[in-house]
Amino acid sequence: MLTWIETAGAALRPGAGWTEFLALFALVVASIVVIGLVTGAFFEIMNARHPERRIQIHRTNENKWGELKYAPGSIGVIALCFSGGLFAQGQGWALTPLPITWWSVPLTLAASVLLYDAWFYWLHRLLHWKPLYRFHALHHKSVAPTVWTNHHETLVEAILNQSFYFLIVFVIPIPWPVLVAEKIYDQISGMLGHAGYEHFASPMGRTPWPFASTVFHDQHHGYFRYNYAHSFSFWDRLMGTLHPRYDETVKRFETVTTPASGAVEPPASERPETR
């Protein structure tokens, strides 16, 4: 195991070859699987213990476990794009990363997270455009998403989303440990956004704060035409695509005691099946 990790780490140094790249790719795949299993188990336990925090109380995902058959392809694409970015940086093909300092870490992390949110918003809007929606339709079969829905996507959609992690090293001189930290956050927050239960509702998830809660992405699946961004709500607020009851729904979940006190069933005119 240690030799395998050392070989993968060698891919981050100049002169590495395909053997080191494949070891890095395998390490990233294994890491994503472990993060997914741990995060998924955590939310399965939390959801079972707190049924009152279910967001869509009148819907269930009958294909919950069947969605996992798409996970290998999705994870493979994620690992390929992410490993490719790290490898390109290590070989000196991308921007030279900044040294790790007290200011470079928060600066490059904030810049990358903000850029990814913009990337995700506009790409997501594009995928809802009729000529491209066929690549995104699979993901929207999960009208009531679960924590496992995060990887329920086509290979094309996965490539479009995850190519950010290959390209970002050519845009920002981000140190590789910072990019790793962002990717771990991305994996966990992606599963949190699909969890189907609002466990962490707080005032920071609604105006005037820009952060997005689980309700945010769940409403995108339930209502289809709203809430396209990833981590923040400001793009949707600016472009007029924020669900009109997002803030009030988050506020209700801050003090939820019964399922009905937090959840709202979508009006018939806003449901995906009538789009």
Concatenated DSSP letters of 200-266: ---GGGSTTS-B--HHHHHHHHHHSSS---SSBSHHHHHHT-S-TTHHHHHHHHTT--SGGGT--PP
- For residue range 80-112, list pLDDT tens digits in order: 999 999 999 999 999 999 999 999 999 999 999
Q: Which of 195, 232, 227 has its CA nearest to residue 55?
A: 195
- For residue range 1-14, list pLDDT tens digits in order: 556 567 778 888 89
Cβ–Cβ < 8 Å for 16, 91? yes
**pTM of this structure:** 0.92
d(CA 24, CA 30): 10
Asked whether residue 153 carries a pLDDT value surpassing 60, the answer given is yes
Can you give the pLDDT at residue 111? 98
Q: What is the CA radius of gyration of the chain?
A: 19
- For residue range 17-61, list pLDDT tens digits in order: 999 999 999 999 999 999 999 999 999 999 999 999 999 998 989
Measured in whole angstroms, the distance separating CA 182 from the mean position of its chain's CA atoms is 11
Task: Fill in the amino acid letter for 126.
Answer: L
Residue 98 DSSP class: P
Domain of residue 211 covers 2-274
Cβ–Cβ < 8 Å for 201, 256? yes
d(CA 230, CA 113): 10
Name the percent of the chain lying above pLDDT 70.
91
**How many folded domains does the chain comprise?**
1
- For residue range 201-260, list pLDDT tens digits in order: 999 999 999 999 999 999 999 999 999 999 999 999 999 999 999 999 999 999 876 655
Asked whether residue 266 carries a pLDDT value surpassing 80, the answer given is no
Question: Which single residue is written with the structure tokens 């939820």?
Answer: 256
- For residue range 163-200, list pLDDT tens digits in order: 999 999 999 999 999 999 999 999 999 999 999 999 99
Can you give the pLDDT at residue 36? 97
Question: Which single residue is written with the structure tokens 């069933």?
Answer: 265
